[in-house]
Amino acid sequence: MTGVASSALRLAGVAVLLVGALLIFGRLLRSRAALCAGASPKPIDEQWLERHLFSLKPELVGALYDRRIAWPEVAAVLARMSVESKLASRVAAGARGWSNLELWLLVEREELTGYERELVESLFLTRKTTSGDAIREAYRGVGFDPARILRRHLKASCDALLGARPVCTWPLGLGLAVSFVGLVLSARPGLWGLVPVVGAIILGALGPLLALLLGAVPWRTGQEWPGAPPWAVVLCGGGSVGALALLIVAGPSLAPLGVASFTAWGLMGAALVARVVTARESAEGQGLRRNLLAARQFFAAELERSEPRIEDDWLPYLIALDLKGKVEHWYLAFGRLETAARRERLAQAAAAVDSAASGAAAAGGWTGGAGALGGVGPSGAWISATTGLRVTVPGRRLALGQALGYA
């Protein structure tokens, strides 16, 4: 394939590229719409939550929600064990001015199984008390990430519940490699002959890369990060396709092989974006995801009200659904306001704490989440202090996937 490509061949290449990209991104948009459809079901009440949310452990809810097992899931486990009276805790001042989470084990280790037992063994070592400072000292030279314990135990459960399918990307990688070789072979001698080829390589790689960085997690989970709405993901991928189409039309010395390579390069890049960010679960798994997204939206909306329909004992689920910021915002906005209903609840909760030895139960309602931890009031400091249980070793390299919680 020598010589300069004819206008008809160029237009044909542009048509194939644009139509193919339109089909790929159209399917991607439909896939995400299907994931988000039904995210606001019939009015959510406690019975709905019992059926669709509380039937799962909070740490599993967090792992299912965003397919990520990291700090929030660890905090959710500790909060759940506090609700179940397996642990007691408080936040105190620690070394270097850090918040120091102090923990007491209230049950025998032999009563625990699975990752609860392994987590307790790692946190408490040989004692029945521990703290963030003690853990940092014990693991100072080797590092410690409690989330790795949960990943080993929860990943298989997540895949089974979601019906996760493996993603096969090697054919697209092979197609990109072949297209790259075609781009290189189609380059004309001289600087001006290399300009369109280099431009195609840069534009064909930069746009999909930005799309993947912006959208891989939020598109698969139904979330939208600030600054990365759905149109931004399509715009990045589509921008590369449009730029490649202009190069095909305007390239003054583009050979027929170059037209074919430019077209394939753009289509392979768009397909790779769609393959990575498209939901990988079965229909039942996507339904489960929609329910979790609906529960998160319900909690987020309730935390905008001065008297939310939330119980303190639900705090582990709020942590797992990454609502720490909303919890802290609620206390700053409403937690220090005195209302008759809240004064009554606080009095009942304080009386229940004082008479815990007699078996009195704490009053329900939301006071800021600390009721789930054996106290009353805000829980933001406790949640933040759980991050101190992870020990990093200066200078040690950490894989990106492991650092983000996907490993």
Give the separation between CA 128 and CA 147, rounded to whole angstroms: 21
Count Cβ atoms below 10 Å from residue 190 Cβ, excluding itself: 9
Q: Mean of the pLDDT values across residues 229-245?
A: 74
Q: What is the pLDDT of residue 400?
A: 42
Residues 6+ apart with CB under 8 A from 142: 393
Question: 287 near 41, Cβ under 8 Å?
Answer: no
Dihedral sign, Cα of residue 64, residue 65, residue 67, residue 71: negative
Q: Radius of gyration (Cα) for the chain, nearest Å?
A: 27
Q: What is the pLDDT of residue 1?
A: 47
85 CA to centre of own chain:
29
Give the separation between CA 184 and CA 176, rounded to whole angstroms: 12
Q: What is the pLDDT of residue 227?
A: 36
Q: What is the pLDDT of residue 247?
A: 79
User: In the predicted model, is pLDDT for residue 357 greater than 70?
Assistant: no
Q: How many CA atoms lie within 13 A of 261 on its CB side?
A: 24
Q: Mean of the pLDDT values across residues 364-368?
A: 81
Nearest 10 degrees: Cα torsion 66, 67, 70, 75: 60
Task: Determine, yes or no, domain membership for 24.
Answer: yes
Helix axis angle for 191-221 and 256-277, nearest 10°, is 20
Residues 6+ apart with CB under 8 A from 350: 376
Q: Mean of the pLDDT values across residues 337-352?
A: 62
Give the separation between CA 37 and CA 296, rounded to whole angstroms: 15
Q: What is the pLDDT of residue 122?
A: 94
Of 2, 20, 3, which is closest to residue 266 (Cα–Cα)?
Answer: 20
Q: How far is CA 88 from CA 78, 101, 125, 207, 323, in A?
A: 9, 10, 16, 50, 22
Q: Mean of the pLDDT values across residues 34-61?
A: 82
Task: Determine, yes or no, domain membership for 180.
Answer: yes
Terminal alpha carbon distance of the chain: 46
Q: How many domains does the chain have?
A: 1
Task: Determine, yes or no, domain membership for 87.
Answer: no
Strand partners, 102: 90, 131
Q: Confidence class of residue 289 from pLDDT cuts 50, 70 and 90?
A: confident
Give the separation between CA 263 and CA 245, rounded to whole angstroms: 8
- Judge if pTM exceeds 0.75: no
Strand partners, 391: 144
Task: Determine, yes or no, domain membership for 31.
Answer: yes
Task: Determine, yes or no, domain membership for 85.
Answer: no
Could you list the beta-strand ranges (E) of 325-397.
Answer: none
**Residue-range definition of the domain harbouring residue 182:** 7-36+167-277
Task: Determine, yes or no, domain membership for 123.
Answer: no
The amino acid that residue 386 corresponds to is T
Task: Determine, yes or no, domain membership for 289.
Answer: no
The amino acid that residue 175 corresponds to is G
Q: What is the pLDDT of residue 135?
A: 92
Give the separation between CA 50 and CA 16, rounded to whole angstroms: 51
Give the separation between CA 356 and CA 143, rounded to whole angstroms: 38
